[in-house]
Amino acid sequence: MINRERLAETFKTLVMIDSISREEANVSDTICRMLAFLKPEIFIDKAGSKTGSNTGNLIMKIPGDKNISPLMLNAHMDTVSPGKGVEPEFADGVFTSKGDTILGADDKSAIAIIIESLTAINENRLSHGPIELVFTICEEIGLLGAKNLDFNLIAAPYGYALDTSDIDAIITQAPAANQFEINLYGKDAHAGAEPEQGINAILLASRAIAKLSLGRIDEETTCNIGVLEAQGATNIVPKHVRVKGEARSHDEAKLQRVTDTIMSAFESVVTDYQNQHRLDDLPKFNASIHKEFSCTHIPDDHPLVSLAQKAAGELGRKMAPKRTGGGSDANIFFENGIVTGVIGTGMTDIHSTRESIRLDDMVKSAELLVEIIQKHGKNAE
């Protein structure tokens, strides 16, 4: 039923369209052309003006022959850099790029799979329920498309995001994440002539960071410092340093505790220095904390999970619920009342020039999606 050659050609066409974050319009137009035969109702929301993209999120509503709630399918249209001028290569059943760009399988493999699945369903005149396609922008730069999605356009109570590697698992648990930025201020001075007159902001930030547990804290929780940034010269005591990082946990209470610990570490270092040197105004720090996304916890017996597992069973496969440490559009959909599991396309080494994907895995993902769509429709009978 799935046409391998057509799927491969669709994928190649998509990855050759430049669509780094905020430049997704050409991919959006191509998707509309490729699915025009379904005569979908098409909406482009106002997320583009809110994110700085040249288009908004693309929502396509495909009518079904069952009077049931729609099923949502999601993929994102943007890619990371270096993502301009992608030249895909295909050898031994595997897609790669020529090596100086990403491939773009994240997430254009998902778009190609959705298009091929719907094409096969239409060709074979298979019955299905209503389907809502949500192709988002700016996923790679903080899930901004989903965060600014017009959810009034979505009626589906649940659905699937195609945005992971494992084709035999459904991600039902994803963490919440906090991002933080801390600015610590000391005092500049000549590092050779009078270092005693300065307050080294880098040194104080380092002391605070040394108090922290970083990396994997426990099976549910991680923490990372990703940016330590200061400007100046080697002969100047640095007066300002910026620290950026994140904490993640599947337990919201743990996430709060880790975040509080980070803030306390910086506060104690600053306070200790002030007390030791009898200072009031310096050093000092300020911090901003941003909730990147909330956690996703979908019960194993949810209809979303059962539907995917039954569809996999029809193909002689198994699909296990899985926990991940990453976030996706699914987290934002979940926050907004749309229960969303994440299923895989087979993409590997994403966000690197080594990115690749096997056509066989894409075919298997498309076969699974066809079964999911069919079973969703039959559940109403």
Q: Which residues are catalytic?
A: 78, 139
Given a contact cutoff of 8 angstroms between Cβ atoms, the answer to whether 102 and 82 are in contact is: yes
Phi, psi at 239, each rounded to 5°: -100, -10
Distance from chain centroid for Cα 375: 27
Q: CB 316: neighbour CB atoms within 10 A?
A: 6
3-class secondary structure for 33-101? HHCHHHCCEEEECCHHHHHCCCCCCEEEEECCCCCCCCEEEEEECCECCCCCCCCEEEECCEEEECCCC
Cα 83 from Cα 90, distance rounded (Å): 18
